[in-house]
């Protein structure tokens, strides 16, 4: 089931086009990565989803119908640049934002108490925000974002400024929220966390959607047909055994065993390669190299730039 979708969304500002026919489809209860280099148009898209600005053309749908003003209560947004009133007390401030998101005072207080206990930050309630460290402020911001229990959550670079322990805590919370039924759009440059968390992604570059789909599918699509093989036996024989369709990129090893990276040029399967090798070597490991999201990201963005130049 699709919770959110954008269809052919375009948006121009006075002298540049921020979004050009961007489409995306976010499945329900998934974590969806919105990727792209700085200035690609991610923030504009997020602002459109939040109804901060309206698209020039295109459709935005939530739950299968067009976005309407009241939908802001069903969306939670944590912007990249954290925004809190520095001179305002933490508790008061959290309550203020909760009420702006439509919660009544009583419910807001109850939920705030729950989250402050969960994060063990009850003692911050009467502190001014400026007294907190950056990481502490992020926690407060996170609570503010999710307090009204939105169906759709948008996190823009949620882990920046967090230490590893708090990053983990936050990751667990985000997956926890997803497991409880919310859908998450996750905008980041941190490809490690994309692989770890995201089910689907869209990559935006130069205002255009460059690629969209499930993370696994995209990584498959960018496979270079390179296999890593661990084996024992006479390594030199490798060159004789393999036909010209196979290229040995790298060969390392010693007494304990050898490792080779082999690129397959023709359409072939793992089994064909294994069949070729098995009579001659004792195979200890066999894996296909799957490109990291990081590589794909860099690849796509640079390719685009090259084309443009």
Partner 1 sequence: MTAKTSIVIAREYLTRVRKKSFIIMTIIGPILFAAVIIGPAWFATLEDREVRVVAVIDSSKLFIGHLPETDYLRFEYLENTTVEELRENFDDTDYYAVLYIAHIIASTPSAVQLMSDRQPGMNIRMHIANALEKELERQKLAAYDIEDIDRILESVRTRVSIRTIIWQDDGGEKESFSELAMIVGYVGGFLIYFFIFLFGAQVMRGVIEEKSSRVVEIIVSSIRPFQLMLGKIVGIGLVGLTQFLLWVVLSFVLVVVSQQLFFPDIGTPSSETVVAEELFTSGTLQQSHPVADDSHDRFGEMFASISSINFGVMLLSFLFYFLGGYLLYASLFAAIGSAVDNETDTQQFMLPITIPLIISIIVMMNAIMNPYGPIAFWFSLIPFTSPIIMMARIPFGVPFWEVALSAGLLVATFIFTTWLAGKIYRTGILMYGKKVNYRELWKWIRYTG
Binding site residues, partner 1, CB under 8 A = 14, 47, 50-54, 56, 72, 75, 77, 79, 81-88, 96-97, 99-101, 144
Q: How far is Cα of residue 192 from the mean position of the Cα atoms in its chain? A: 9
The two tokens of residue 32 are 């969806």
Question: Smaller CB distance to partner 1: residue 125 or 222?
Answer: 125
Question: Smaller CB distance to partner 1: residue 54 or 274?
Answer: 54
Residue closest to 303 by CA, chosen among 214, 206, 217: 206
Closest separation between CB of residue 13 and partner 1, Å?
9
Closest separation between CB of residue 79 and partner 1, Å?
5
Question: Smaller CB distance to partner 1: residue 35 or 144?
Answer: 144
Question: Smaller CB distance to partner 1: residue 86 or 265?
Answer: 86
Question: Smaller CB distance to partner 1: residue 162 or 231?
Answer: 162
Closest separation between CB of residue 101 and partner 1, Å?
5
CA-to-CA separations, 184 to 149, 187, 197, 237, in angstroms, rounded:
12, 10, 10, 52
| Residues 153, 184 contacting (CB under 8 angstroms) | yes
Closest separation between CB of residue 301 and partner 1, Å?
23
The two tokens of residue 138 are 């992020």
Q: Does an H or E element contain 257, and which?
A: strand 257-264
| Residues 201, 215 contacting (CB under 8 angstroms) | yes
Q: What 3-state DSSP class applies to 15?
A: coil
Burial zone of 15 (CB within 10 Å; 0-12 exposed, 13-18 middle, 19+ buried) = exposed
| Residues 121, 139 contacting (CB under 8 angstroms) | yes
Closest separation between CB of residue 68 and partner 1, Å?
14
User: From the CB of residue 224, how many other CB atoms can be counted at a distance below 10 Å?
Assistant: 12
**Close Cβ partners of 262 (under 8 Å, ≥ 6 residues apart):** 226, 227, 229, 242, 246, 247, 248, 249, 273
Using DSSP bridges, classify how beta strands 183-187 and 152-156 pair: parallel, antiparallel or unpaired. Answer: parallel
Question: Smaller CB distance to partner 1: residue 85 or 222?
Answer: 85
Closest separation between CB of residue 5 and partner 1, Å?
19
Question: Smaller CB distance to partner 1: residue 54 or 241?
Answer: 54
Question: Smaller CB distance to partner 1: residue 86 or 282?
Answer: 86
């Amino acid at each position: 089931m699709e919770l959110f979708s954008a269809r052919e969304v375009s948006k121009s500002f006075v002298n540049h086009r921020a979004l050009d026919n961007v489409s995306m489809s976010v499945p329900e209860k998934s974590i969806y990565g919105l990727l792209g280099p700085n200035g690609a148009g991610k923030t504009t898209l997020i602002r459109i989803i939040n109804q901060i600005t309206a698209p020039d053309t295109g459709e935005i749908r939530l739950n299968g119908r067009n976005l309407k003003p009241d939908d802001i209560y069903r969306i939670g947004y944590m912007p990249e640049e954290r925004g809190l009133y520095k001179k305002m007390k933490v508790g008061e401030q959290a309550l203020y934002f909760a009420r702006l998101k439509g919660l009544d005072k009583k419910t807001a207080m109850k939920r705030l108490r729950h989250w402050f206990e969960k994060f063990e930050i009850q003692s911050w309630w009467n502190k001014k925000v400026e007294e907190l460290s950056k990481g502490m402020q992020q926690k407060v911001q996170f609570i503010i974002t999710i307090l009204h229990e939105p169906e759709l959550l948008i996190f823009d670079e949620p882990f920046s400024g967090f230490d590893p322990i708090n990053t983990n805590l936050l990751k667990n919370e985000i997956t926890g929220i997803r497991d409880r039924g919310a859908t998450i759009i996750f905008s980041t440059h941190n490809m490690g966390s994309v692989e770890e968390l995201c089910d689907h992604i869209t990559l935006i570059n130069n205002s255009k959607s460059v690629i969209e789909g499930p993370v696994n599918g995209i990584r498959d699509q960018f496979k270079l047909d390179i296999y890593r093989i661990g084996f024992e036996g006479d390594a030199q024989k490798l060159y004789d055994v393999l036909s010209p369709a196979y290229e040995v990129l790298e060969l390392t090893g010693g007494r304990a065993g050898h490792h080779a990276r082999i690129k397959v040029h023709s359409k072939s399967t793992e089994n064909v390669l294994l069949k070729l090798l098995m009579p001659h070597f004792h195979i200890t490991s066999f894996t296909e190299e799957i490109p990291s999201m990081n590589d794909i990201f860099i690849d796509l963005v640079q390719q685009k730039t090259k084309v443009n130049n």
